[in-house]
Amino acid sequence: MSLLEVVDLSAAYGPIQVLHGISLTVDAGEVVVVLGANGAGKTTALRAISGLVAAKGELRFDGVSILGRHPESIAHRGVSHVPQGRGTLAGLTVDENMRLGAYSRRDREGIAADLAEWYDTFPPLAKRRSQTAGTMSGGEQQMLAVARSLMSRPRLLLLDEPSLGLAPLVTKQLFETLATVNRERGIAMLLVEQNAALALELAARGYVLEAGEIVASGTAENLSRDGEIRKAYLGR
């Protein structure tokens, strides 16, 4: 049984149907990437999984249907969503954002240890612990969003373009961190990313989403060898 099972999921904004029945799975401890052009519905798919958008179809996490559940209860089950546009709590400080990341946890020591670890991993955040999150630069906020998500020790991480606005060096570090986290803590990830080269390196499998439908899927290796995909997403 997969950790996340999405079967024939559709979603719409008012009259506009955006997802036309997509199916995908993420196994425990697995990293899966979703590629797709602008407006393909990637964000919508992640939002549907985390309960922010009403959807039809089947949606199971850890064998239990989570379709129609509140986002907060889905989060409590161990799904952490780093939304596109970061979702930083702009009026709160960096530190408060980080502590809220651990909102569903109760282990004080564990939280303190994680806090230290992520500040270590993202030094710009450590430097700005007491800065209001909303005043930080775009890239800094993006780091915060990812680090905050990790604070919850999720079982599944939904990442919506985590490298958006990050400097090349930081992007690289971020993907290294994600790889480490995945390896050492066994956190599964569903990753939407435009930096397809890095994403396919990290991921074991991938899907290609076009106009609300999955048009290709396979192992990361197979996908990166596909000519069309290379042309559209990799440029090599």
Ligand X SMILES: Nc1ncnc2c1ncn2[C@@H]1O[C@H](COP(=O)(O)OP(=O)(O)OP(=O)(O)O)[C@@H](O)[C@H]1O
Restricted to residues 196-235, the positions that interact with ligand X (CB under 6 A) are none
Question: Which residue in the set 10, 25, 43, 97 belongs to the binding site for Mg ion (CB under 5 A)?
Answer: 43
The token duo for 77 is 């089950």
Point out which span in 85-93, 137-145, 171-179, 181-189 binds ligand X (CB under 6 A).
Answer: 137-145
Q: Select from 10, 22, 32, 41 the one that contacts ligand X (CB under 6 A).
A: 41
Least CB distance from residue 102 to Mg ion, whole Å? Answer: 26
Q: Is 44 in the site for ligand X (CB under 6 A)?
A: yes
Is 139 a binding residue for ligand X by CB under 6 A? The answer is yes
Of the pair 35, 151, the CB lying nearest Mg ion is at 35
Q: Considering the rule CB under 5 A, would residue 84 count as an interface residue with Mg ion?
A: yes
- 93-112 binders of ligand X (CB under 6 A): none
Q: Which of residues 55-84 bind ligand X (CB under 6 A)?
A: 84
The reply to whether 169 sits near ligand X by the rule CB under 6 A is no
CB of 49 or CB of 102, closer to ligand X = 49
Listed in sequence order, the residues at least 6 apart from 121 whose beta carbon sits closer than 8 Å to its beta carbon are: 147, 173, 177
Q: Which of 31, 32, 35, 40 binds ligand X (CB under 6 A)?
A: 40
* Least spacing, CB of residue 235 vs Mg ion, in Å: 20
116: helix, strand or coil: helix
**For ligand X, the closer CB: 41 or 101:** 41
**28 or 37: CB nearest ligand X:** 37
| Cα 119 versus chain centre, distance | 20
**Hey, which residues does 207 pair with through a beta bridge?**
34, 217
Farthest-apart Cα atoms in the chain, separation: 50
Number of residues that bind ligand X (CB under 6 A): 19
Residue 2 burial (10 A CB sphere; 0-12, 13-18, 19+): middle
Q: Within 28-185, where are the H helices?
A: 42-49, 71-76, 94-101, 108-121, 123-127, 138-150, 168-185
Tell which one of 1, 16, 64, 169 touches ligand X (CB under 6 A). 16
Strand-pair partners of 81: 158
Nearest distance, CB of residue 156 and other proteins, angstroms: 13
CA distance 18 to 12: 5
What is the dihedral sign for C-alpha 178, 117, 173, 101? positive
Say whether 215 sits in a helix, a strand or coil.
strand
The Cβ-side half-sphere exposure at 57, using a 13 Å CA radius, reads 23
Residue 1 or 25 having the CB closest to other proteins = 25
Q: Element (H or E) spanning 32, and its range?
A: strand 31-36
Q: Where does this chain bind Mg ion (CB under 5 A)?
A: 43, 84, 137-138
